[in-house]
Structure 1
Amino acid sequence: MKDDRQTHWVTAAVPTLAAQPLAMTVTLPDMATEAGWEPRRPVVIWVAGSTKLSRAVVRRSTLDWGRKHLHVSLDAFAWSNRTLEKATKKFGRRLGNGYAIDICIRLTEAPPTANPTYGNISRLRAFANLQGATMASQTMDRVYGAAPLGCSNQDEPALSEIAEGELVYNINGQDVTLSEEQRKAVDLGTSTLPIVGIQAAFGTGKTVVGSIIAVRQAAAGKSVIVTASTNAAVAQFAQIILSLTAYRHLRVLRFVSDTAAQKNLTPTPVDMNRILMSLRDEFDDQLSDEERALCDKFTTGRTILERYIENPDLAVDMSEEDKDEYALAERNVSKTVKKMIKLVYKLRKPEILCITTASLLNAYGSRGGTLTETESRDSSEPAGPESQDPSQVLIGDEALQIPEPALAAISNCMPFA
């Protein structure tokens, strides 16, 4: 479904002017779905009578499906806080201890420079697990100088074991011979060093090298997570992994969030929704009646949603019956997706998971995240080392695009990787 493009004329409730940032709530009528009004989405606001526009961000949205009302809570951006406060005082009406103001409000796109990773980091306890004898703790200590790096004149145990690998790999039926530098990079990437950085110029095959490292680690029994900053980069990495002929038996999964799925310009055969929708056909004899019903409910709903994702013009003139069908499908999918993912991990646990950095932090960074096994106590609490796989290997494509706060937060999410 496309994002909501309407400009809504509504009355906003401002409970108090003392809050920082200034908060308000609005109710949008005739909304069959959230239509993009999701947490952290920016909006533009015009207060009736004011000469200035203000900006805010969605904090929470709740859909009243029966009445087709969308209740949205907003927080003003810091630079708009004073403007909104003045406009509320001047043009608002007293409502108990707060105000009611007439506004025009419209959903907008996040700026191209916005990095969703930082939004996820800000909600995490980014250093909760970076202690003790975990691999993450040791890596952070070495990177940031809290532990001696050692020197060539000092006797100390070897940090790594490096074994020589193959020189020739078959990619989509064509033999490709690695250069000497590429072979050394692959051998370094599959060594036992706690952290490895491979630097190379543009166009020298870094993604191919990274893909070979991923499949070799997975073939050795490691659980591999490949991450990059954009969906396009993750898709390219996944495609190269799938093209390595000798390793096509490996189970690969590309995680695509619901938001990204709407703009997925680079689909792959291992996209999460495709895998989820194929579970019933592929594993029917291993499913219980309850699991079959779960698969049918998810697949029916997802099929309806994808019809609108693939043909967005269908959403322009939806009948009431179509709106009801879409809203029911969206609700069924949102209620069943976590159970479906758990079923995937039960039936075909991926040996290689490809996922953007923002989605990785969102899915693994807190209890109740999409890819955590515990659904939980408090979503602000870290998932905890007890739920982590000690054989994990994390590969970051274009590491310079993964900011240092994200590296620390990822290490905290996966302290044994």
Structure 2
Amino acid sequence: MSAAIRFSEPVVSKEARLQLYEYVQHFIPVYANEGIMPLKVLNLRAKDREWLQDRALDFTNYVKDPSTAKRKMGKLFNVCCSALAATSTLHDDKTVYWITATVPSRTACPLRLDVTLADMATDGGWTLERQANFWVSGAPHAVRLRAVEVLFITERKQLSVRLAASSWNHRRLCTLVDQHGREDDGQYVVDGYVVLAKATQSASQSSAAVSHMLRSLNSIAPDTTGSQILDIVYGHKPADPTPNEETDPQRPHPAYPTTSVYKGQTLSLTADQHAALALGLKGAPIAAIQAAFGTGKTVYEALVAGLLVARGKGPVIVTASTNHAVAHFANTLLALNDFSKLNLLRFISESAYLDEAPSTTVDINEILKDLGLKHAASLSLEERDACARYRNGRLLYEAHVRHFEHSMVMTDKERDEYLTEETDVSRTVKKVLRAMLRVRPPHILLITTASLINTTSANGIFKNKLQDRKTLIVDDASQVPEPVLATLASLFPQSCQLYLGDIHQMFPHVKCHREANTAVFGAQSTLKVLQESSIGSSSRAHYQLSRASGAE
């Protein structure tokens, strides 16, 4: 990052200015975020307030001038999502602490530091996997660490945090500790400053992801499905001008199944569920299906995803707000007998993996580990070598992070082996992923909404690799904020969008008042927006689905 230093007095000479430049290069701001100030703050103009009022009501401005409306909507979504992302960390601890950190084991890999913070009324954002900066006075660099253990003792207002280095900066922290540490009462300690780092985008922070991706909706070509979606939702155009006989509950369409086998049980769909199934399979640019919680809706939703692929309307992306929801959807698909031969892939971020999110047999790390074993005949010699290196490194890494206690005492040979293998994983993962997409292309990709946006960004691993997706299925759509709809239309302009969920369940989580502009224009439930646009259908419960799926 860049930091600017402003001096109130002019320098005495050109030579002094050059010397000052030299000194400034070695100046390390302790908490640079506090030095960032807005250049200008303005009240909204009258015409902008009028536009916002119309946007909150019928949005006639979209009908009058779609191009201008899209441009302003992109800016509005971006501003609101940026504000919501900032609000979520507004009360994070910003204190710079002078601490004496304890090194629990100097032979650990990665190296850890134990830190105790006093007078803490709350955790202040010090949570698992949150990053912090540690700096020793006189050192040329700060070291970025992550919290691997956090214990908040309420009655003492005390926070105990164990911070760990990463493989890429393990040696840097070791050098820092060796040069500046000391023995103290039988323990090895090091004095320095620690401060909570700015929160990174997590797999569940869709607002932060949208704020980085969405700039203008005018980039969506007018002859695409994405453009049709915006016109349907905001321009009040009909989603499907043809009579919808297939979704008539009184006239079940013979082309769609009325039963399915789930966990060995034959499930029968009711008439209205059959109608909702037909709506989901029809291929309209956008559709929404209301299915109440506790009705076995995940089984029904998985049935829609599988049938879309089977009927040539795939590949499909299934997305939801949380890793738990995505894992549940994946396991439900795996339990449907009709789709046992489909290639499924569930993306899980490394932070979610370390946080011990629910796992499945189709997690990306599991698929990539076995790629060289199951598809060796389809791989080149170079690809097989990359797969072998990835597998060996990944197995060692997983054993390491799942059993942290074993990594507290390691020999030099074991540390070098671990660091080498983890480096191999980082260097080979993209090559192995490309090979996987060629020899085992996923019919259905399951991924959280934030991860979907992040991984298709400029530096994401799926950049320009998912443009063949014909349908996006958004599960638990009541929890998905409205800007995600626009972002998905921008990222996947040729894909249809299908939203499923219960409008009476949780809305998108925000840390501000629901009536604040940021929440009104940046955190409305997508399912609510679609319902107000008269897009959607309903599906009632069936006791067989509820019992078989555990009333999900």
- Measure, in 1, the Cα distance between the counterparts of 2:204 and 2:361: 27
Q: Read off the aligned partner of 2:228 and give its amino acid letter.
A: Q
CA contact (8 A) 1:127 1:409 kept: no
CA contact (8 A) 2:111 2:170 kept: no
From 141, 146, 168, the counterpart of 2:259? 168
Q: Which residues in structure 2 correspond to 1:192-207 (within 5 Å)?
A: 192-207=283-298
- Measure, in 1, the Cα distance between the counterparts of 2:437 and 2:245: 31
Give the SS at the match of 1:138.
helix
**Deviations, residues 369-402 of structure 1 (Å, cap 9, x unaligned):** 111247xxxxxxxxxxxx722x510111110111
How far apart are 1:217 and its partner, in Å? 0.3
From 479, 482, 487, the counterpart of 1:401? 479
Give the SS at the match of 2:213.
coil
Q: Which residues in structure 2 correspond to 1:12-411 (within 5 Å)?
A: 13-14=28-29, 19-20=35-36, 41=130, 43=132, 63-64=168-169, 67-68=172-173, 103-105=193-195, 115-127=204-216, 129-144=219-234, 146-149=235-238, 157-158=241-242, 162=246, 163=253, 164-221=255-312, 222-364=314-456, 366-373=457-464, 388-389=467-468, 392-411=470-489
Query: CA, structure 1 residues 41+208, in 2 after alignment: closer, same or farther (shift >3 Å)?
Result: same
How far apart are 1:281 and its partner, in Å? 1.0
Give the SS at the match of 2:487.
helix
**Deviations, residues 244-295 of structure 1 (Å, cap 9, x unaligned):** 1121111111111111122334221111111101111111122221111101
CA RMSD of aligned residues (A): 4.2
**Deviations, residues 85-130 of structure 1 (Å, cap 9, x unaligned):** xxxxxxxxxxxxxxxx962346799999x94222211211343543
How far apart are 1:141 and its partner, in Å? 2.1
Flag structure 2 segments of 5+ consecutive residues without an equivalent. Answer: 1-25, 38-93, 113-125, 138-157, 159-165, 177-190, 247-252, 496-552
Q: Read off the aligned partner of 2:290 and give its amino acid letter.
A: Q
How far apart are 1:337 and its partner, in Å? 1.1
Give the SS at the match of 2:289.
coil
Would you tell me which structure has more helix in proportion to its own residues?
2
Query: CA, structure 1 residues 299+232, in 2 after alignment: closer, same or farther (shift >3 Å)?
Result: same
- Measure, in 1, the Cα distance between the counterparts of 2:175 and 2:320: 34
Query: CA, structure 1 residues 372+33, in 2 after alignment: closer, same or farther (shift >3 Å)?
Result: farther
- Measure, in 2, the Cα distance between the counterparts of 1:363 and 1:223: 17
Give the SS at the match of 1:353.
strand
Query: CA, structure 1 residues 345+291, in 2 after alignment: closer, same or farther (shift >3 Å)?
Result: same
Query: CA, structure 1 residues 169+303, in 2 after alignment: closer, same or farther (shift >3 Å)?
Result: same
Give the SS at the match of 2:257.
coil
How far apart are 1:45 and its partner, in Å? 8.7
How far apart are 1:63 and its partner, in Å? 3.5
How far apart are 1:314 and its partner, in Å? 2.0
> Which residue number corresponds to residue 59 of structure 2?
none
**Deviations, residues 60-103 of structure 1 (Å, cap 9, x unaligned):** x99356545699xxxxxxxxxxxxxxxxxxxxxxxxxxxxx962
CA contact (8 A) 1:227 1:357 kept: yes
- Measure, in 2, the Cα distance between the counterparts of 1:197 and 1:289: 47
- Measure, in 2, the Cα distance between the counterparts of 1:409 and 1:34: 40
- Measure, in 1, the Cα distance between the counterparts of 2:350 and 2:134: 26
Q: Read off the aligned partner of 1:141 and give its amino acid letter.
A: D
- Measure, in 1, the Cα distance between the counterparts of 2:209 and 2:396: 30
Query: CA, structure 1 residues 186+149, in 2 after alignment: closer, same or farther (shift >3 Å)?
Result: closer
Give the SS at the match of 1:123.
helix
Give the SS at the match of 1:197.
strand
Query: CA, structure 1 residues 325+203, in 2 after alignment: closer, same or farther (shift >3 Å)?
Result: same
CA contact (8 A) 2:109 2:415 kept: yes
Q: Read off the aligned partner of 1:179 and give its amino acid letter.
A: T
CA contact (8 A) 1:32 1:324 kept: no
* Aligned sequence identity (%): 33
- Measure, in 1, the Cα distance between the counterparts of 2:356 and 2:299: 22
Q: How many aligned residue pairs are there?
A: 345
> Which residue number corresponds to residue 382 of structure 1?
none
How far apart are 1:310 and its partner, in Å? 2.6
